[in-house]
Amino acid sequence: MKAWEDKIRRVTPYTPGEQPQEPDKVKLNTNENPYPPSPAVKKALDGMDEQLLRLYPDPTASVLTKAIAGYHGVGQDQVFVGVGSDDVIAMAFMTFFSSGKPIFFPDVTYSFYPVWAELFKIPYETKPLGEHFEIRPEDYYDANGGVIFPNPNAPTSRLEKVEVIEDILDHNQDCIVIVDEAYVDFADYSVLPLLDRYENLLVVRTFSKSRSLAGMRIGYAIGSPELIKAMSDIKYSYNSYTINQTSLAAGAASISDETYFRETIERIKATRRRSCERFTELGFRYTEPQANFIFVTHPDLDAGELFKALREAHIYVRYFDAPRTRDYLRVTIGTDAQMDLLFDFLKDYEGRV
Ligand code: PMP
């Protein structure tokens, strides 16, 4: 062992989904949008003044925060933007979860939460989801250092009722509750209206899924001005220029094209409905999906083996080898043509095993 080795901090990192490089793949593993971003985004990037690249970007990212605030009908002082919602959530962990008390999140959820908790040395407790992967609000009544969960949840795609979220908020008035709405544009409703009643609620969103801009890395949080100010103070103590010039332009342009945004969402929802029917025909089971992915299980098929067989056929889905998820596959909704390739494979596979 070298003398300096014990000075190095060792952590267990988050494992992102694979980004395969071969061209003939069917990529349904990282919940990206199969459609391109709005043409307004390309136009904004093409028309960008290259002089802008010479300058530091606006540290307040005001072009983007203004567009987001206008879109949601909130004040600009209620919006915080970051490099994808991963960056926004990491900042929120640093800002709000410093009491030393354990934070609570579900046992089946976005697998980055425990990684940030370890990284920032935040104690945490996971709360088991119910039999149908439902959040049980009473599990969140005990004293804690904060609460976070996605709605719809990942990887289950299940959306909790607003009353469930209200129940959790009512019992957690002395800490910050973060609702990660990464997938909410594909769902029936959002909890944003609750912001008027709960100053301790922070809602986090992303441009990566519904706006087809995962490559641009844009995420945001909406909350009371006090919460946003606290997050900004942490950000300015860490890295002032998080959002680059191209992301600012692309993000604002995406917001300007509501028609394209709605059309794309409707197309994905239509493919989701069709995919549910096909999965049912093939004997798969799932809870009603409210995100751009379906979490499926089959009583007679080993999910781990199926995952491997799909991968060999260059069809990429996600498999989480953990106690409550190892019988399931998370399948991102692609185009109809991509889903057909998946279903052709599954039909043939069922005949073989
Ligand atoms: N939250 C959840 C629940 C997610 O699944 C993801 C995607 N991995 C994110 C946040 C982060 O997405 P992004 O950083 O691309 O905004």
Residue 156: φ, ψ to 5°: -80, -25
Please tell me the predicted confidence (pLDDT) of residue 1: 84
* Res. 18 pLDDT band, cuts 50 70 90: confident
Please tell me the predicted confidence (pLDDT) of residue 353: 81
Whether the Cβ atoms of residue 168 and residue 148 lie closer than 8 Å to each other:
no
- Per-residue pLDDT, averaged over 189-207, amounts to 98
Q: Count of CB atoms within 10 A of residue 224's CB?
A: 19
| CB-ligand 1 contact for 224 (6 Å cutoff) | no
For residue 206, which atom of ligand 1 is closest to its CA? 16
Residue 183 Cα to ligand 1 middle (Å) = 8
* Res. 24 pLDDT band, cuts 50 70 90: confident
| CB-ligand 1 contact for 29 (6 Å cutoff) | no
Cα–Cα separations (whole angstroms), residue 13 to 112, 240, 273: 9, 25, 35
| CB-ligand 1 contact for 85 (6 Å cutoff) | yes
User: Helices 39-46 and 245-256, interaxial angle, to 10°?
Assistant: 140
| CB-ligand 1 contact for 214 (6 Å cutoff) | yes
- Per-residue pLDDT, averaged over 109-129, amounts to 97
238-265, pLDDT tens digit by residue? 999 999 999 999 999 999 999 999 999 9
Cα–Cα separations (whole angstroms), residue 141 to 102, 166, 171, 232, 243: 13, 12, 6, 29, 37
Please tell me the predicted confidence (pLDDT) of residue 181: 98
| CB-ligand 1 contact for 106 (6 Å cutoff) | no
> Ligand 1: which of 14, 18, 31, 86 to mutate, judged by most atoms within 8 Å of the beta carbon?
86
pTM value > 0.95: yes
- Per-residue pLDDT, averaged over 121-135, amounts to 97
Residue 333 Cα to ligand 1 middle (Å) = 16
Contacts of 95 (CB under 8 A, 6+ apart): 227, 230, 231, 233, 234
For residue 219, which atom of ligand 1 is closest to its CA? 16
